[in-house]
Amino acid sequence: MEHISLENKTILVTGAAGFIGANLCRRLLKDYNVKIIGIDNLNDYYDVRIKEYRLDFIKDDPHFTFIKGNIADKEMIDNIFETCRPDIVVNLAAQAGVRYSIQNPDAYIESNMLGFYNLLEACRHHPVEHLVYASSSSVYGSNKKVPYSTEDKVDNPVSLYAATKKSNELMAHAYSKLYNIPSTGLRFFTVYGPAGRPDMAYFGFTNKLRNHETIQIFNYGNCKRDFTYIDDIVEGVIRVMQGAPEKKNGEDGLPIPPYAVYNIGNNQPENLLDFVQILSEELVNYDVLPKDYDFEAHKELVPMQPGDVPITYADTTPLERDYGFKPSTPLRDGLIEFVKWYKAFYM
């Protein structure tokens, strides 16, 4: 592995107003002497106020430059690489969400495929030290073998979102092989925390319970998710940024692709019903919901949704082996941080 110092580097972060992107920028600006160019199109897939809230923490930092734009805009991307010459690229811009991909497939092809292709082309013409990009646990589809290992075959995506993420890994592999671009894909597992995405279950459940609506628990509650706290994800990304796959040649004299893929998950799947239980307890503890709230009356167990999977479970052994890191924030601790933020933001 090639060690990369972040000191005095120019880092391009796409999706900089997103949940992971904004937290990553904030941490890099706080702990490292870096220059960050952040791109985000601030689309209204969810409440833009949350994106603006995240940006508020970083937008005035003299080492941060924000560009409102879409990575599918090739001219803009080429221009940024031409003028800013990033040393490291972290691609977190993507149209997220499994269910949304069923109603709005165009958004996924534009951002997740065309946008990523533009970045690969730019890295080809303006070589970078490391391209790190977001993949997703959804690439595992409905694999029966758990925990999910990056060695597993992932050829059967169950949603278009998952198919676009798998395509990113394949495209990155081809570009790594052809142009010797060091690239690392990160398969994130159910990321949660303060100022997270409102389309995620913990956030949606909280909104619904506050509005006295019924929450639907899929697969009759027989779902397990490897919930991974945002700070753990950010720590993992920063460690990976500093260790790029090594450039070396094979016996045939041709480059072996400097390419890697890792899981970043909590390695501890939680049953959805337990998760709802913990969330509801903390919503009462922090006075987001009244003490006498009737949770049973607002819960409905329903069948599985198209595109969903019954379990996500990350094998994080390679991440531990290569980067000495494993996410470890307990679910209750993470949900408490979310509930405290939710109360401050909405109440």
Q: What is the pLDDT of residues 191-245, one digit of tens each?
A: 999 999 998 999 999 999 999 999 999 888 888 999 999 999 999 999 999 999 9
pLDDT at 77: 98
Percent of all residues in the chain with a pLDDT value above 70, rounded to a whole number: 99
Q: What is the pLDDT of residues 49-108, one digit of tens each?
A: 999 999 999 999 999 999 999 999 999 999 999 999 999 999 999 877 667 777 888 988
pLDDT at 158: 85
pLDDT at 68: 97
**CA 10 – CA 167 distance, rounded (Å):** 27
**Helix/strand/coil for 219:** helix
Phi (first) and psi of residue 312, to 5 degrees: -125, 135
The ranges assigned to domains in the chain are 2-191+228-267+312-328
Quick one: DSSP state of residue 296?
Answer: G
pLDDT at 318: 97
Quick one: DSSP state of residue 159?
Answer: S
pTM as predicted? 0.95
Residues 287-326 as b/e (b if ≥16 CB within 10 A, e otherwise) read ebbeeebebeebbeeeeeeebbbebbbbbbeebeebbebb
**Reported CATH class of domain 2-191+228-267+312-328:** alpha beta
How many residues appear in the chain? 347
**CA 279 – CA 274 distance, rounded (Å):** 9
pLDDT over threshold 90, residue 117: yes
Token pair, residue 141, equals 């589809």
**Helix/strand/coil for 195:** coil
Q: What is the DSSP string of 200-214?
A: SHHHHHHHHHHTTPP
Q: What is the pLDDT of residues 262-281, one digit of tens each?
A: 999 998 999 999 999 999 99
Q: What is the pLDDT of residues 12-52, one digit of tens each?
A: 999 999 999 999 999 999 999 999 999 999 998 899 999 99
Average pLDDT of span 125-148: 93
pLDDT at 219: 86
Catalytic residue chosen out of the listed positions 45, 100, 161, 342 = 161
Is 161 marked active-site?
yes
Token pair, residue 275, equals 């998760």
- Under 8 Å between Cβ of 151 and 187: no
What amino acid occupies position 342?
Answer: Y
**Alpha-carbon distance values, 166 to 117, 172, 292, 317 (Å):** 13, 10, 46, 21
Q: What is the pLDDT of residues 321-339, one digit of tens each?
A: 999 999 999 999 999 999 9
